[in-house]
C-alpha cells in the first residue's frame, strides 16, 4: 500500500479570510498614522515653546500660532486649547484633544490625545 501524500497549503477561504483581516488592518493603520504624526508635531512645538520660557501666556499662545501657521499638519488644536502654567519659574504647557477618524460609513474611531511639555 502506498502512503498518501499529505497536502499542505492554504485553502481559498483561508486566503480570503487573511486578505480581509490584513486589508482591514491596513486601512485602519493608514487612517490612524497621520493623527499620530500630528500629535508628535504638536508635542515638539509645545516642548520648544516651553524651553524658550515665554514671559506671558499670550506670548506662548502667539508662538504656538506661528508654529501652527508654518506646520500645516496641526489642525486639531488651537492656541486657546493650551493650558499654560508656571512651575518653579518654568513654563509648563499641556494639551488634550480628541480626533475622530472615519473608517467606513457609519463607523468612526475616536482617539484621545494628551500631552505636556517636558
C-alpha–C-alpha distance, residues 62 and 65, integer Å: 5
pLDDT for position 3: 66
- Local confidence pLDDT in tens for the 118 residues of the chain: 566 777 788 899 999 999 999 999 999 999 999 999 999 999 999 999 999 999 999 999 999 999 999 988 999 999 999 999 998 889 999 999 999 999 888 999 999 999 999 8
* Dihedral over alpha carbons 44, 47, 51, 55 (to 10 degrees): 110
Tell whether pTM > 0.75: yes
Please give the Cα distance from 28 to 109 (Å, whole number).
9
113 vs 96: CA distance, rounded Å: 6
Amino acid at each position: 500500500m502506498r502512503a498518501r501524500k499529505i497536502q499542505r497549503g492554504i485553502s481559498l477561504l483561508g486566503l480570503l479570510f487573511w486578505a480581509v483581516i490584513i486589508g482591514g488592518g491596513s486601512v485602519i493603520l493608514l487612517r490612524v498614522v497621520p493623527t499620530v504624526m500630528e500629535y508628535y508635531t504638536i508635542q515638539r512645538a509645545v516642548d520648544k515653546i516651553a524651553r524658550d520660557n515665554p514671559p506671558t501666556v499670550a506670548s506662548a499662545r502667539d508662538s504656538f500660532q506661528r508654529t501652527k501657521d508654518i506646520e500645516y499638519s496641526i489642525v486639531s488644536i488651537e492656541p486657546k486649547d493650551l493650558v499654560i502654567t508656571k512651575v518653579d519659574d518654568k513654563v509648563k504647557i499641556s494639551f488634550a484633544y480628541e480626533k475622530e477618524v472615519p473608517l467606513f460609513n457609519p463607523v468612526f474611531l475616536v482617539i484621545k490625545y494628551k500631552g505636556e511639555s517636558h
